[in-house]
Amino acid sequence: MKKIALIGSTGSIGTQVLSVVSKHPDKFKVISISAGENKDLFLKQVKEFSPKVATLKSEIDVSQFNNTEFYFGKDAFLNAVISEADLVVVSLVGFTGLKAVIKAIELKKDVALANKESLVLGGKLVTSLAKQQGVKILPIDSEHSAVWQALNFDFNANFKKIILTASGGALRDWDLNSLKNARAKDALNHPNWVMGKKITVDCATLVNKAFEVVEAKWLFNASFENIEVVLHFESIIHSMVEFNDGAVMAQLSSPNMELPISLALSYPNRIETNVTPLNFVALGSLTFNDVDNERYPCFKTAVEAAKKGKAYSAVLNGANEKAVELFLKDKITFGQIEYALKKALDSFTGGDETTYQGLELAQSFGENIVLETF
């Protein structure tokens, strides 16, 4: 029985983690959960899973529960990272997820990671700490799960190139002139995946894919030169690895997060899922295209920020979070997201990426530039 601490239980990934756990009660037990704002779902989850520890951002009445220890507050989620866990799943959205990852590693726990910011901003910090403590970072992101599978679960395997696939997002067929004026409702209409709103917008700008390049770099010890991105509209190949002899290994499946989530929980084994089997004849053909810089200017900007190193990715992330927030509130257009990212990066001069505090400073710098601009 694998004991799971779930940090971020009410979001898109968190709820799917719980659904995998429910399907396999003989294999997994959730011993702690942590949620943010969604108190109704949180209470339902506490009732269903009776975790040892449960945490929520704001205080609520929990007098009906006798077997669960509760913690409330902004940083209460850290109380759900407990030493009894065999695996800590971090599916919080946003920069604070990094704190949970650091605590889990310090407790020498393997981490199943769905929080991008932990590697995009804190990749250096997280991977060096994980190495020092002898723990593994298991990817939940579908692309990195695909690479991990193509490498036969060997994080130290030799390879020539990682090829990440991208769906291109909801606006991939828009003509370039109208693209700049697209609104939230347009960008939220993702063709293949059902996900949270923030990440669906990041798919349309391809900022999500730029972040995944950085994640891949840290997870698989690759250099930027060895990571390529191709547009693949069907989202059937979730990513590929090319080896020195010219062989390419790809992982294919219907687009359904249940697979990478199940694998991160059950590793080193595979377990049954409800993922629809592929029917190759019905699929017909799979297509691939280059990433067009004119259509996806944010992709280039975000990758360049990461290549500059230091805390540039933290500034970019802060700016992107705020810009997407404004975009989702219909306060700015799609084209203004790129303007916001550029402006934040141009105003920044480095920062310190080796500590949480340094990254936090850079992140708020990016947020503030956007708030001042719009």
Residue 314 CA to residue 302 CA, distance in Å, equals 10
Torsion of Cα atoms, 329 then 174 then 256 then 288, to 10°: -150
Q: How far is the CB of 47 from Mg ion (least distance, A)?
A: 31
CB of 135 or CB of 166, closer to Mg ion: 166
Give the residue closest to Mg ion by C-beta. 141
Residue 46 CA to residue 269 CA, distance in Å, equals 28
Residues in contact with Mg ion by CB under 5 A are 141-143
Candidates 319, 311, 316, 302; CA nearest to 369 is: 319
Q: How far is the CB of 143 from Mg ion (least distance, A)?
A: 5
Backbone angles phi, psi at 253, to 5 degrees: -175, 165
Q: Residue 61: CB partners within 8 Å, gap ≥ 6?
A: none
Q: How far is the CB of 141 from Mg ion (least distance, A)?
A: 4
CB of 145 or CB of 363, closer to Mg ion: 145
CB of 141 or CB of 321, closer to Mg ion: 141
Q: How far is the CB of 374 from Mg ion (least distance, A)?
A: 28
Q: How far is the CB of 323 from Mg ion (least distance, A)?
A: 20
CB of 43 or CB of 213, closer to Mg ion: 213
Q: With H, G, I as helix, E, B as strand and everything else as coil, classify residue 246.
A: coil
CB of 143 or CB of 353, closer to Mg ion: 143
- From start to end of the chain, where are the E strands? 2-7, 28-34, 53-56, 69-72, 87-90, 110-113, 137-139, 161-166, 227-231, 237-242, 248-252
Question: Do the beta carbons of residue 88 and residue 326 sit within 8 Å?
Answer: no
